[in-house]
Every structure is written in structure tokens, then in C-alpha cells.
Chains A and B, each alone.
Chain A
């Protein structure tokens, strides 16, 4: 379980990523920007799993790429154990990468088809010779295969000889090779069958206990995120709209978008379905190149008033719950944040 009294292992402050939109062939000029990630802050504590949910295009994967330094942030800082890593390059960046690793979404494209499993899992040791095991590298690769539940004899096989779930295990083994402290999982199970999803999720939980890993778990499947996460952040159109413990988000959501998301989760129990109010949002997600003024959700929100268009709601504990001692007192970026009990049976 997360120990939130300790120092955060990863702290993100006001992270921004704008992708420029250009026009013209010879003389390019910027005509706008896609605000993929717009001023996001959160913290990750050692041994904790922070889930990030949101619909497609809300900037979840961009956050992962920014944290991995695969994309450069437009503004903002990423602190790993107190040091800003968002502007590092070269040797210093390489050193940090040993401690932050990533598991990719698509197990079919994240493994080089021309390398054997042994080469794929052993590559981190070639890149970081100082982290390589003394002596037999092969033995360490076999050990890693065993840790993720694959037959160590598969070391000479190629990725196309494996199933999706097995490939994702290979991807996890590659992520584990350098003994990182943080693993960023960008929708690690969304490309897998439901039964295989459960296996991979259970493996990831087992590895977290074994190696004391911190996960940043990005997904759009709310039930999986609830299952694995200690805390959950909800993103909408490049903004974090609500963040809190899993009970806070799932049982006491106060942001209208979170409430709408949760009310869309299918319930297996027909009786429970009777008493539940389903919130059906109208309209589409606005373009991140031209987001609405003020609150980004106001164009689809049933609570929206004039104030929402003028004033950007801050991500903070709502005033009405400021003195509450329960899970309902968590950060929510809404002027009219209020619990809505009918939707909380997710």
C-alpha cells in the first residue's frame, strides 16, 4: 500500500504539452496548437499505483511519453526524487531512464520482430553495462522470463511465435530488467482478451509486491483501474478534472464528468441497474486545438452556468467539503462539485 507520508518519488508540476499546428510548405507558420496536456500536476508515492483514466484523446498517452522524455514538455517540471528530469539530456537522462521504465500498449508492435526474446530482454543490459549482471547475462534473462511466468527455454524464440498475453509478459520483463522504481504502463492490457487481461494485471500486482514498484497506470477501463490503483486521476481534454483515492473517485465522485463516466459503466446486476440514474452526455468532445473557455467540460455539462465559461475551476478540495473528514474531501476541478449518490455503484 502507498505510504503518502513519505516523500513523493515522482512529482509532476504544471506539465504542458502543445503540439504546434503549422501551415505552409516553404514558410511554415504556426496557426495554433493542439493542447494535448494542459497544466497537469500530480504526485506518485513509492510503492503506489496511480491510475489515470479518461476517454480517447484526452492526453493520457502524452502524459506517459512526457514522463518517459520521449516527448519534450512545452512547460512544467517533472521531479524524480526532487530533481527536475524534464530538461535532462544525454548521460544524465540515460541514468534516470534506468529508474523509470515503460510498458507499452500494443504487444504486437512493441517488440522488435527481428530480435529473439533473449536479445529483447537482454538489450537493457547492453545499453546500461553498469547495470548488467556480473557474469552470465543469459542466466539473468532466463530468470526474468521465469519471473513473468514464461518458460525460460523460450529465450531463443522470436516475438511472432507468442500470443498477445505472452508478448506483453516479454514487454514487462524488458521493463523489469534494470530494476526500475517506477513503471509507466500505457494501457498495458487494452489490446488483450479479457481473460488474459486478468492474468497480466495479477502478474503486475505480484511484481509490485515483490519489487516495491510504483506504477503509473493509464487505461480507459474503469474497473481495471479500480482493481489495481491506490489513487485515481480523471482526465478530460488535457486537464486533470478529479484526483483522489480509489474510494473517493469511485464511491464519492464530485466532478460531473467523473459521475458521467461512472454511470456509463455497465452493471452486471439488473436490480442495481433499476435504482441508478444514467447520465447521458450530449455533444462530442471539443477539439483540443480550440478548447472551450473556462471549464473545459462546460459545453457538455448539465450544471454549467455563466461562471463556468469565465472562470477556470482549480483542482482543489471543494469548499462545501473542506471540513469533511471522509473520502468525499478530495481534489475536484468544478465550481459546483457535489456528490451524486445515484451513480456510485460502479
Chain B
């Protein structure tokens, strides 16, 4: 594949910087951080643009579902149970006679809320544990890493099923908490590795030689240079966590009716008989779920490519 020439790529900026004469002639005020370089690359990456647009769209309908769905997702007419697509009801009706389109749109809220909150919890918990383990090393590393291994040994789905079937609370928070409590080891391992790599750089030694405190070294020098792989992993995990929420709801331990979510609807539609007679009630929420998961995973991939210094 021919390499398209992009005059503003950081490669050229670095090449120019090697030649002092060129640098002196360019505008000296022009500053470019690594993240602005990454953003510059991302804007030109079609995979990122498509997935970002999709995610923005999903976020908008998660916050204001009424923008594109005017009906009430809980208004159902049993008389129209399992009816196919009709004018004004393009996705048809489910077993209870509710409008599938409205429920798919409203389902985004619960799914994305669980995904975003659980991912935030996982990222914060994992970064703190992994970061402290990597930074302090020795005893703390051994303690925190072995704790991580213990949590890592618990299968996420199985652990979530056990805890959620014990808790028996409704709403999204139990699901969020259980996923956050069980999902962080993956992030912790990545954060630990990234912190250990960043810790060995000379600029950390330089900061120490200046007399910088541990918290300053961690927050100003190590974290900004170690956070990229965590962001990437978290973005990809967001997709899998949304899928996990659907899995748990499908198994009857995650979100429960009357909460509207894709997983709940997939679960309700997954009776074999119904699928043969009315496949639309399964296909539409499943398609929405796949699209959402795919969007987050694609975005994570694109961000990883942009932040990877080896590709610069």
C-alpha cells in the first residue's frame, strides 16, 4: 500500500526539529503535545470517525431517547403481541405488545449507563491498584499483584452471577458495582506494567534528583506517560462490559423488567418458538447491542494505534 504523504504528521515535525535551521524558521510558538499529535491522527482515521459518530449518537439517545422515539416504552397493547412491522412501528411489537423500536431506543440508556459507570469504576480501581504496585514495588507489589491474581482467577460472568443472585436488588447499581469489583484486575495488570516502564525513564530520576515528592512524580511524570494503555483497554472493555450486562440480564440476574435494556429484551425474546414466528423481537435489540459493542471496540483500537509511540 503506498504511504500517503501527510505534511503535518509528527514524523515531519521531528525531522524538521533535527535540523536547527529549519526550526528557527518555523513559527516558534507552535506547540504540539503527544496527545494533540494523536488527536491529529485520529481525526483522519475513518474507523475512529465512524465509531465516534456512532458513540455520540448512542450517547445522545441514551440521554434524550425522546428525540427519536416519541412513544412510551412501557405502553404496551397485548392485542398486538408479536405483530410484525407496521406503519409507525417499523420494528414491530414484542410478546407484550410493546413497540420494539421504542424499547430498543430506550434500552440504550441502561446499557450505556452500566457500561460507562462500570468501566469508570474498573479503570479507577485498576489504575490505583496497578499504579501503586508498580510504583512502590517490593512488598506492596507482591501484595497487590497477588490480590489481583486472586480476583483474576474468578471468572467474571460466574462471579457476577453468584453475587447478583445473592444480592437480589433491582436497578443498575448492583450490576455496576459487581462488574467494577470483579473486572479491575485486567486494568491493574496493564497499569502496573505501564507504570514500571515509565518509572525507569531518566526524567523520573531527574525529578527525583530535583527533590520531587512521590505524589508529584506519580501524578506529573508517571501517570501521564502510563495512562495511554489504560485508556485503550478501558475503551475496549466498555464494549465487553455492555455485552456482559446483556449477558447477565439475559441470564435473569442483571437488570430486570420493568427496567428497559437490550439484555432484558433479548432475554424476553429468546424463546425458540417466538424466534421462529417473530424474529424481529430478537434481532433488533441484538443488532443494537452488537453495533454499540463494535463501536466501542473499534474506537479503542483506533485510539491505541494513535497513542502507540512505536507507530510514530
User: How many whole Å from A132's CB to the nearest CB in chain B?
Assistant: 13
The answer to whether A94 touches B20, judged by C-beta atoms less than 8 angstroms apart, is no
Residue of A nearest to B14 (CB): A160
Contact of A166 among B20, B32, B211, B220 (CB under 8 A): B20
In the complex with contacts A151-B28, A166-B20, A101-B211 CB distance below 8 A:
no
The answer to whether B211 touches A157, judged by C-beta atoms less than 8 angstroms apart, is no
The answer to whether A70 touches B34, judged by C-beta atoms less than 8 angstroms apart, is no
In the complex, A166→B18 CA distance in Å? 9
Please give, as numbers and ranges, the residues of chain B lying within 8 Å of A109 by CB-CB distance: 201-203
Q: Which of B1-58 contact A (CB under 8 A)?
A: 10, 13-14, 17-20, 23-24, 28-35
The answer to whether B216 touches A127, judged by C-beta atoms less than 8 angstroms apart, is yes
Tell me whether A290 is interfacial, beta carbon within 8 Å. no
Tell me whether B208 is interfacial, beta carbon within 8 Å. yes
A-B contact count (CB 8 A): 101
Contact of B211 among A94, A112, A151, A163 (CB under 8 A): A94
The answer to whether A97 touches B210, judged by C-beta atoms less than 8 angstroms apart, is yes
Please give, as numbers and ranges, the residues of chain A lying within 8 Å of B10 by CB-CB distance: 160
User: How many whole Å from B196's CB to the nearest CB in chain A?
Assistant: 15
In the complex with contacts A97-B209, A110-B202, A161-B225 CB distance below 8 A:
no
The answer to whether A104 touches B205, judged by C-beta atoms less than 8 angstroms apart, is yes
Q: Which of A113-136 contact B (CB under 8 A)?
A: 113-116, 123-124, 127-128
User: How many whole Å from B219's CB to the nearest CB in chain A?
Assistant: 12
The answer to whether A106 touches B202, judged by C-beta atoms less than 8 angstroms apart, is yes
Residue of A nearest to B207 (CB): A123
Tell me whether A333 is interfacial, beta carbon within 8 Å. no
User: How many whole Å from A130's CB to the nearest CB in chain B?
Assistant: 11
Please give, as numbers and ranges, the residues of chain B lying within 8 Å of A65 by CB-CB distance: 205
Please give, as numbers and ranges, the residues of chain B lying within 8 Å of A116 by CB-CB distance: 31, 33
**Interface mask (B204-234 → A, CB under 8 Å = 1, otherwise 0):** 0111111111001000110011000000000
The answer to whether A161 touches B205, judged by C-beta atoms less than 8 angstroms apart, is no
The answer to whether A104 touches B28, judged by C-beta atoms less than 8 angstroms apart, is no
B side interface size, CB within 8 A? 34
Please give, as numbers and ranges, the residues of chain A lying within 8 Å of B212 by CB-CB distance: 123, 127
Tell me whether A58 is interfacial, beta carbon within 8 Å. no
Q: Which of A138-178 contact B (CB under 8 A)?
A: 151, 153-154, 156-158, 160-163, 165-166, 171, 174, 178
Q: Which of B30, B34, B201, B202 has the most CB of A within 10 A?
A: B202
In the complex, A40→B211 CA distance in Å? 25
Please give, as numbers and ranges, the residues of chain B lying within 8 Å of A178 by CB-CB distance: 210
Residue of A nearest to B35 (CB): A114
Residue of A nearest to B312 (CB): A160
Q: Which of B10, B31, B216 has the most CB of A within 10 A?
A: B31
Tell me whether A216 is interfacial, beta carbon within 8 Å. no
Please give, as numbers and ranges, the residues of chain A lying within 8 Å of B202 by CB-CB distance: 104-106, 109-110
Residue of A nearest to B36 (CB): A158
Please give, as numbers and ranges, the residues of chain B lying within 8 Å of A163 by CB-CB distance: 17-20, 23
In the complex with contacts A104-B202, A161-B13, A166-B20, A113-B225 CB distance below 8 A:
yes
Residue of A nearest to B19 (CB): A163
The answer to whether A70 touches B209, judged by C-beta atoms less than 8 angstroms apart, is yes
Please give, as numbers and ranges, the residues of chain B lying within 8 Å of A157 by CB-CB distance: 28, 30-32
The answer to whether B13 touches A104, judged by C-beta atoms less than 8 angstroms apart, is no
Q: Which of A60-101 contact B (CB under 8 A)?
A: 65, 68, 70, 93-94, 97-98, 101
In the complex, A115→B203 CA distance in Å? 11
In the complex, A106→B13 CA distance in Å? 20
A residues engaging B (CB < 8 A)?
65, 68, 70, 93-94, 97-98, 101-102, 104-106, 109-116, 123-124, 127-128, 151, 153-154, 156-158, 160-163, 165-166, 171, 174, 178
B residues engaging A (CB < 8 A)?
10, 13-14, 17-20, 23-24, 28-35, 201-203, 205-213, 216, 220-221, 224-225
17 further A-B contacts with Cβ under 8 Å, apart from A112-B203, A112-B207, A163-B20, are A65-B205, A97-B210, A101-B209, A102-B209, A104-B202, A109-B202, A110-B201, A110-B206, A114-B224, A123-B207, A127-B207, A154-B28, A161-B14, A161-B17, A161-B23, A161-B32, A163-B23
